[in-house]
A and B are shown apart, each in its own frame.
Chain A
Amino acid sequence: MSDNIIAVMIGVSTALGAFGLFALIWGVKTGQFDDVEKFLDGAKFDGEEELQDAIMMEKKKEEALKRKKEREKNYRPAD
């Protein structure tokens, strides 16, 4: 085996492993494993409806922020 092949193989396999490692760390950091039971039950409540729910919440938050900004813009202190 040539040196280059060894180097590439070690490099690629370690990088693949590192990719998995970073995904796991990301999961830990964003609190996805904080609630053991919910995490295990997650599979039960994982459907189209839940996805739509998540999107709806994001939209709702955006809209609420927008409305809030508008209110602040239009706000005139009483004098």
Chain B
Amino acid sequence: MNKIACSHCKLEFDESVMIKKEREGETLYFCCKGCEGVYELLNSKNLDSFYEKLGNNKLEPVNVNFDDLERFDAEGFYKKYVKTTKEGFNEINLIIEGIHCSACVWLNEKVLHQTPGVVEATINYSNNKAKVIWDGDEIKLSKIIETIRAIGYNAYPYDPAVQEEKAVKLRNEYYTRILVAVFATMNIMWIAIAEYAGYFTGMEASKKHILNIAEFALATPTLFYSGWIFFRGAYYGIKNRFINMDFLVSTGALLAYIYSIWAMVTHKGEVYFDSVTMIITFVLVGKYLEILSKRQAVDTLDRIMGSTPTELMVVSKEGKKLVPIENVEAGSTVELKPGDKVAIDGVLKHGSASFDLSALTGESEPVLKKPGDEILSGSIVLDSNVEYITTKRANESLLFTINELLSDAVTKKPKIEQLANTVSGYFSVTILAIAIATFLGWYFIGGVGFERSLIISISVIVIACPCALGLATPMATLIGISRLAKDGIIFKEANRLETMAKATVLALDKTGTITEGRPKVAAFKEFESYDKSLLYTLAKLSKHPISKGIAQFLKEREESLQEMEVKESKELRAKGVMAEIGKHKVLGGNLELLKEFGVKFDYQSENSIYAFAVDGKVLAVFELRDSIKEGAKEFVNAIKKLGIKVVMLTGDKEEVAKNIAAEVGIDEVKSQLLPQDKAEIIEQYHKEGEIVVMAGDGINDSIALAKSDIAIAMGSGADVALEVSDVVLLNGSLKSLKEAFILSRKVFKTIKENLGLSVLYNSITIPLAVAGFVTPLVAALSMSLSSLIVVGNSFRIFRFKT
């Protein structure tokens, strides 16, 4: 059988299972009805050039579902997500699912543009976010969503966080200011070259005057537009009785500027406009890099809350009714359908169903709930209709609480910046005092006149000007960060490196961090010989980690495995799979499954069990265990050697946790923890004055991650865990975690060296400047030189070997 690509989604399937269709002499193949529908629709709307634009990209097979459309027109939904524009149109922010390439963006925009009533539709390719503006009197939102779904994509709303908008705005503002500053600096440089050449070789006063005016014209917007940030910073500093770096930069630049104007107008002495622009530009770029490294708002949070229903089906004596989630009182009876996300905590009343709790616990195994069991918000109903009674209101429920905690964690996280500011504050005051004393000293005691005294004191300010000191930290961290990024270790915020270097406790999650999270066969017993392909087919029927482990195990050991035809199959959640393959009735699962089908079998083990039975007889039994990651023991040893305490936090059973801890050499174990408990333990460490690094991968870790000083997400973990984390290890290996520790310490050491160097530099040059040996121009040059030394020292991090 040969494989043929579907005409719409381009995925390849066997010819026999495809839908074949003749159209204008061409033979088309479709993998499903959904793809066929979309293809027809695009053709009828003359949008078939989409397939040319698509190129070699592949799409997902279309799975159209129009069932829940009415929720988009509900009042509660409108209140929450839809805004009104100035002109009176409606506006909503959507996340579009299924965008793989720029052709998809093109198609979505095009189709929305063609939809009557839609006034504006723009889609951002990088983050799949879309803004749609429409006329509410002409088209309903549900119709727009239907249009998007009809072409094989899905859309759901999100609340554009205010912080995200602010972050983008701030970035753009800085960017504009830097553009102006860089432009002015580049132009002033070549004018300054002419001035210097004229200074040494002689230049007519009239020509010099023209150059001075040109420099003045370029320096003015730089100082007052680009440098506005420093004036503002200085103003707020003084308002709070605090002299900061901003104040030093702005006084230095402003004094040099005013003096230069005086020199220009009176034709006396030299102008220093070039120093003004250079100071502003250098320091502004440094500040911009700081802003860039600050955390951006959280896309994933929007995604979680976006898929939460805004209305619930409440059952009362009068019948069923959709009620906005905010209005659902505790004690109401709510109906859930398969696939629904639970929005409010409660207790199951009627019927039983499996729940996917992976969003909360990180465990992938669904849990069967019976009447009387507690239901947590954030879990998803998998298989049947149930009714439950709410015990809380929406804003008291777990899902909401987690969301709140995460947003809190994202918005606040200062600490070290404060200290750095205090130090630079004292530094600035000292420099300013020295400069004033120098001026007064030279003017009254030295008797060299006003101009000379002013120049000398400006030199003092300029030479002490932040550069080296200001660059010491960001330069080392930036180089450290890019070095780490090269090795697949992403620091989301620069100043976290310092915290990481000072860490005293490392808290580790078990599943996925110390262990692989993929159970493997540890032991097995075969009672009779059997057809391995039969077991392979059965194992392939389920996506459960245990079944996957069995399939993997067979694939590694057997050569000729074939998937057989399955007549009938049924998956029993949390138990196993039952199927009819060929003439046999086959069972594969744990002991409970055997009991349910009346097969007598007894087996004891501390590991997970997978028994394989054909026609009521057990033929083989497998024990599976989650294996420890390679190099875990060496890792724990290496971390202990750095003087860091290692603790294991897990939601798993005590014995399992202890066994694994003993195997890798961790002394402290805390087991059977809920997400909040983990966070509490971290708090406890904080109270003891420890600096805690937490590594984990699940949403169940996210609160603890948010509480810790440094949160580390291990590679392919849950998206939320990635979002709250400060450090992401792309390959999820413990080796890179170790590297992160060692490199961050190296970076911190370099920062200290840099600070030492710049202090040394200042203690040599400031006395020279006070003594009057330095002109502002030389001061600016030597300031650059000191910066170069700091930069050079920082670059050594690149060559550092771990």
Contacts from A to B (Cβ < 8 Å): 3, 6-7, 10-11, 14, 17-18, 21, 24-25, 28-29, 34-38, 41, 44-45, 53, 56-57, 60-61, 64-65, 67-68, 71
Known interface pairs A56-B113, A64-B138; A38-B126 also in contact (CB < 8 Å): yes
A6 CA / B211 CA spacing, docked (Å): 9
The DSSP consensus for interface residues of chain A is helix
In the bound complex, do residue B183 and residue A21 qualify as a contact, i.e. CB atoms below 8 Å apart?
yes
List B contacts of A10 (CB < 8 A): 191, 210-211, 214
Measured CB to CB, the residues of B under 8 A from A are 53, 87-89, 102, 105-106, 110, 113, 117-120, 123-126, 135, 137-138, 168, 172, 175-176, 179-180, 183, 187, 191, 206-207, 210-211, 214, 217-218
Which one of B87, B137, B210 lies within 8 Å of A3 (CB-CB)? B210
For the complex with contacts A18-B183, A60-B119, 20 further pairs of A-B residues with Cβ separation under 8 Å are A6-B207, A10-B210, A14-B217, A24-B179, A29-B172, A35-B124, A37-B125, A38-B102, A38-B124, A38-B125, A38-B126, A41-B125, A44-B102, A45-B106, A56-B113, A61-B119, A64-B117, A67-B135, A67-B137, A68-B135
| CB closest residue in chain A, given B101 | A41
In the assembled complex, the CB of A51 is this many whole angstroms from the nearest CB of chain B, namely: 13
Q: A67 to nearest B CB, angstroms? A: 8
Complex Cα–Cα for A57 and B168 (A): 26
Alpha-carbon distance between A7 and B102 when the two chains are bound, in angstroms: 49
Chain B residues contacting A44 (CB-CB under 8 Å) are 53, 102
Would you call A64 and B183 a contact (CB within 8 A)?
no
How far, in angstroms, from A60 to B119 measured CA to CA in the complex? 7
> In the assembled complex, how far is the CB of residue A33 from the closest CB belonging to chain B, in whole angstroms?
9
In the bound complex, CA of A36 to CA of B183 (Å): 23
B125→A35 contact, CB < 8 A: yes
A57 contact from B102, B113, B180, Cβ within 8 A: B113
Q: How far is the CA of A61 from the CA of B180 in the complex (A)?
A: 35
List chain A residues, Cβ under 8 A from B187: 14, 17
Bound CA span A34–B113, Å: 21
The residue that B180 contacts in the complex, of A21, A34, A41, A60, with Cβ under 8 A, is A21
Complex Cα–Cα for A7 and B398 (A): 70
Contact (A14, B179) CB under 8 Å given A3-B206, A3-B207, A38-B125 = no
Contacts of B53 in A (CB 8 A): 44-45
CA distance A25 to B120 in the complex (A): 24
A-B contact pairs, 20 of them (CB 8 A): A6-B207, A14-B214, A14-B217, A14-B218, A21-B183, A25-B180, A28-B172, A28-B175, A28-B179, A34-B124, A34-B168, A37-B102, A41-B102, A41-B125, A53-B110, A56-B113, A64-B89, A64-B117, A65-B87, A71-B137
Inter-chain contact A61/B120, CB cutoff 8 Å: yes
A-B contact count (CB 8 A): 78
Which chain A positions have C-beta within 8 A of B179?
21, 24-25, 28
Q: Are A29 and B176 in contact (CB under 8 A)?
A: yes
Check A25–B214 contact: CB distance below 8 A: no
- Smallest CB gap from A56: residue in B: B113
Q: How far is the CA of A18 from the CA of B110 in the complex (A)?
A: 36
**Assembly CA distance A10 to B120 (angstroms):** 44
Smallest CB-CB separation from A21: which chain B residue? B183
B191 touches A68 (CB 8 A): no
Residue in A11, A45, A56, A71 with the greatest tally of chain B CB atoms within 10 Å: A45
Complex interface: chain A residues within 8 A of B183 (CB): 17-18, 21
Q: Are B120 and A57 in contact (CB under 8 A)?
A: yes
Known: A10-B214, A17-B183. A64 touches B135 (CB 8 A): yes
Chain A to chain B: the 4 pairs with minimum beta-carbon distance, closest first:
A41-B102, A38-B125, A37-B125, A35-B124
A71 to B353, CA, bound (A): 51
- Nearest chain A CB to B155 CB, angstrom units: 18
Q: Give the residues in chain A near B124, CB-CB below 8 Å.
A: 34-35, 38
Set B102, B120, B206, B218: member contacting A45, Cβ < 8 A: B102
Q: A6 — which chain B residues lie within 8 A by C-beta?
A: 207, 210
CB distance from B226 to the nearest CB of A (A): 12
> Which B residues are CB-close (under 8 A) to A60?
113, 118-119
> Which residues of B are found within 8 Å of A57, using beta-carbon distances?
113, 119-120
Interface centre among A36, A41, A71 (most CB of B within 10 A): A41
Give A71 to B135 CA distance when docked, in angstroms: 12
A8 to chain B, nearest CB (A): 10
Q: How far is the CA of A60 from the CA of B347 in the complex (A)?
A: 51
- What is the distance, in angstroms, from B191's C-beta to the closest C-beta of chain A? 7
User: Whole-angstrom distance between the alpha carbons of A17 and B214 in the complex?
Assistant: 14
A-side contacts of B105, CB under 8 Å: 38
Contacts known (A34-B168, A53-B110); A28 close to B176, Cβ less than 8 A: yes
Q: Choose among A7, A10, A18, A25 the residue with the greatest number of B CB atoms under 10 Å from its CB.
A: A10
Residues of B within 8 A of A7 (CB): 210
Q: Which residues of the other chain, A, contact B120 by a CB distance below 8 angstroms?
A: 57, 61
Residue of A at shortest CB range from B136? A68
CB-CB nearest in chain B for A65: B87
Note all chain A residues with C-beta closer than 8 A to B218: 14
Give the CA-CA distance A14 to B213 in the complex, in Å.
13
Chain B residue at smallest Cβ distance from A60: B119
Bound together, the chains give a CA A37 to CA B103 distance in angstroms of: 12
The distance in angstroms between the C-alpha atoms of A60 and B115, with both chains bound, is: 10
Residue of A nearest to B135 (CB): A64
List residues of chain A with CB within 8 A of the CB of B191. Answer: 10
- Closest-by-CB residue of B relative to A71 is B137
| Residue of A whose beta carbon sits closest to that of B123 | A38
Q: How far is the CA of A29 from the CA of B169 in the complex (A)?
A: 9
A38 to B105, CA, bound (A): 9
Which B residue sits closest to A4, measured CB to CB? B210
A11 to B217, CA, bound (A): 10
A17 — which chain B residues lie within 8 A by C-beta?
A: 183, 187
Complex Cα–Cα for A18 and B186 (A): 12
A10 smallest CB distance to B (angstroms): 5
User: What CA separation (Å) do A35 and B122 show in the bound complex?
Assistant: 11
Q: Give Cα A53 to B49, complex, Å.
A: 15
B224 CB to nearest chain A CB (Å): 16
In whole Å, how far is A58's beta carbon from the nearest beta carbon of chain B?
10
Nearest chain A CB to B46 CB, angstrom units: 10
Q: Which residues of A contact B214 (CB under 8 A)?
A: 10-11, 14
Give the CA-CA distance A35 to B129 in the complex, in Å.
Answer: 10
